Amino acid sequence: MLYSIADGEVKMVAEGPLTKAALENNKCYLLDCGAEVFFWVGRVTQVEERKAASQAAEEFIASQNQPKSIRITQVIQGHETRLFRSNFGSWHMGSGTSGAEDRRRGKVAAMLKQQGVDVKGITKGAPVNEGVSPLREGGGKFEVWCINGSAKTPVPKEEIGKFYAGDCYIVLYTCHSSDKKEDYFLSCWMGKDSIQEDQMMAA
């Protein structure tokens, strides 16, 4: 059963066969699979909306007299698990990321490579697009932060390029395009073994 959560209210959306189209990127949803419940977060929902939806979801699950042992998994749009996607008949069952996400990761890796940074492991399952043109001749500036709970810690310059599977990172690339105008390219990298709280904070 799929429920939408808006303004603190939980409403039934569909029961039985589900389609990916039922998930709107500006909302949060609950997917009740019986033995497991998924809390899905749309990528353009505001932080306050997410907090309110999370609290409403917890209250709703408690009201359903579910056993305390029930597993509740938080899922962020674009980073759905295979198990979550298996409940939607129209969902492509390939890699865990979308093609657009793979392309973004490939571009970030290509930018890092142009800066002389070792990108080994950054795009597991997504080949680096060697054809990506330089964003700026002569390079730009990279800043990387590691997410730890509600804090983000700057990664030392000599450590940039080392991405650990248990961590999440924010990568900011700054360059000048024309007339001294600065362009910014912001990306987040989520390790496959990172915890959901860090993934949500990074997003």
Distances, alpha carbon 169 to alpha carbons 164, 172, 200, in Å: 9, 10, 11
3-state secondary structure 150-168: CEEEECCHHHCCCCCCCCE
Contact present, 61 and 95 (Cβ < 8 Å): no
Question: In a structure prediction context, what are the per-residue pLDDT tens digits for the chain, which is 203 residues long?
Answer: 899 988 888 898 888 788 888 899 888 999 988 778 888 988 888 888 888 888 888 888 888 877 767 778 888 888 888 888 888 886 765 444 444 545 555 555 555 555 555 555 444 444 433 333 344 444 678 899 998 877 888 988 888 888 888 889 999 888 776 666 777 888 888 888 788 888 888 88
Domains of the chain in start order, with CATH, are 2-85 (3.40.20.10), 99-202 (3.40.20.10)
For residue 172, what is the enclosing H or E element?
A: strand 168-176
CA angle 177, 182, 185 (to 5 degrees): 90
